[in-house]
Amino acid sequence: MDSLSERRKAILFLALAAVLWSTSGVLIKMMDWLPLAILSARSLFASLVFLVYLRRLPKSWNRWQLLAAVSSILTQFLFVTSTRLTTAANAIFLQYTAPIYVVLLGYWFLREKPSRTDWLSMLVIFVGLTLFFGDKLSANGLYGNILAILSGATSALMVVSFRAQKDGSPAESILIASLAAAIFGFPFSCSR
């Protein structure tokens, strides 16, 4: 019975995460705040969630943790800014180029050899991008589209940095990033 309740709790958290991810683009579009102010507010909330989860602050940092934290901050900032400059659909879709970069960066940084499944996934993603680009991706928000692609690259760097922390805690990287972004962006929150 205990594993069943754990499974239900996991499904509930997964559904909650999906709802939050799905509504983020719309909410960013609705807000009349600067991107750094939005980043700060999101990071403050994330900091509280991760502090409750971890019940402590990180005591030591290593280069992979810091790289993951910086990548997390950049990913969020680039996503928020791109969503403000282009359509939310474009920003989300172009950020989802990240798996392509994960395979390439995993090979480059961690010497992980891509499997056939990885190559097939990259092909499917590339074909999907081509079909979407030819049909719906608008050039009206060109700068936003470029920032969204960069957001996919920094997201991939964050994932690879998480994987490099074999004995570490990737959750601590997110807490470090959230605290830093909340503090750095706070002055922009006050001047919105």
Give just the sign of the alpha carbon dihedral 38, 39, 44, 47. Answer: positive
**pTM, 2 dp:** 0.84
The structural domain count of the chain equals: 2
Give 105-143 pLDDT, tens digit per residue.
999 999 999 889 988 888 888 787 777 665 555 566 789
Residue 20 and residue 38 in one domain: no
Residue 120 and residue 93 in one domain: yes
Give 5-36 pLDDT, tens digit per residue.
888 888 898 888 888 877 888 888 888 889 99
Residue 135 and residue 42 in one domain: yes
Residue 11 and residue 57 in one domain: no
Q: Give the C-alpha separation, 122 to 60, whole Å.
A: 36
Residues 6 or more apart whose Cβ sits within 8 Å of residue 142: 86
Query: SS3 helix, strand, coil % of the chain, rounded to 5?
Result: 80, 0, 20
Domain that holds residue 26: 1-30
Residue 104 and residue 152 in one domain: yes
